[in-house]
């Protein structure tokens, strides 16, 4: 397994739209393994392939307390079951140190392929529903800061750009 580098806002590569996985091969499974290692190391609860500069429709999620319930989402899609909006303070491994309140539909039904390439479906609400919607946004080149005011977004951009310059 290998830890991967995570792109940070406002890197333009976070805006790419990911392509469907044609077949779940061993190389896709290696990507999944590396993404889980990368997410668990930070630690995080969700990571999309876009964030590690791989523009394929692959996401990993684990909202358990003890990193014991990895959920693999390949070519995921969802439909909204309950349109009532639910607010959550979201963060992102690509926007480290910043959290903002975002409203999203409360309940969804996910369809995806698993590690073996088998299709599955699940209904989600609460944190899992938030996380799935947040990660699927990444595959479309969208970030949670797109839902907040331009003023707040620009403040975050300026602070992260400064941090990146100091790191370089």
Q: Which residues are catalytic?
A: 135
Q: What backbone torsions phi and psi does residue 161 show, to the nearest 5 degrees? A: -60, -40
Q: How far is it, in rounded angstroms, from Cα 84 to Cα 82? A: 5
- Work out how close the CB of 63 gets to ligand QAP at its nearest, in angstroms, rounded to a whole number: 8
Q: Does 105 bind ligand QAP (CB under 6 A)?
A: no
**Six-digit token string for 142:** 């969208």
For ligand QAP, what does the binding mask look like between residues 7 and 46, x meaning CB under 6 A? -----------------------------------x-xxx
For ligand QAP, what does the binding mask look like between residues 65 and 94, x meaning CB under 6 A? -----------------------x-xxxx-
Other CB atoms within 10 A of residue 40 CB: 16
CA distances in angstroms from 38 to 52, 103, 104, 123, 163, listed in the order given: 9, 27, 26, 26, 21
Of 13 and 25, nearer to Co ion (C-beta) is: 13
Residue nearest to ligand QAP (CB): 44
Of 24 and 62, nearer to ligand QAP (C-beta) is: 62
**Which segments within 33-118 are labelled E, that is strand?**
46-48, 58-61, 71-90, 100-113
Strand order in the sheet with 100-113: 46-48, 58-61, 71-90, 100-113, 119-125
Q: Does 104 bind ligand QAP (CB under 6 A)?
A: no
Q: Does 131 bind ligand QAP (CB under 6 A)?
A: yes
For binding to ligand QAP (CB under 6 A), which residues are involved? Answer: 42, 44-46, 88, 90-93, 96-97, 130-131, 134
């Amino acid at each position: 397994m290998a830890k991967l580098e995570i792109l940070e806002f406002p890197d333009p590569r976070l805006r790419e739209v990911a392509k469907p996985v044609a077949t779940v091969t061993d190389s896709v499974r290696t990507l999944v393994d590396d993404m889980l290692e990368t997410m668990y190391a930070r630690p995080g609860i969700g990571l999309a392939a876009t964030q590690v500069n791989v523009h394929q429709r692959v996401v990993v999620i684990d909202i358990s307390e003890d990193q014991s319930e990895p959920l693999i989402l390949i070519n995921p899609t969802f439909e909204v079951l309950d349109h009532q909006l639910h607010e959550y303070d979201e963060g992102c491994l690509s926007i480290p140190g910043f959290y903002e309140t975002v409203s999203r539909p409360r309940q969804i039904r996910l369809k995806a392929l698993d590690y073996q390439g088998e299709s599955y479906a699940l209904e989600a609400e609460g944190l899992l529903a938030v996380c799935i919607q947040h990660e699927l946004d990444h595959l479309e080149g969208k970030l949670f800061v797109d839902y907040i005011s331009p003023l707040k977004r620009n403040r975050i951009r300026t602070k992260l750009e400064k941090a990146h310059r100091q790191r370089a």
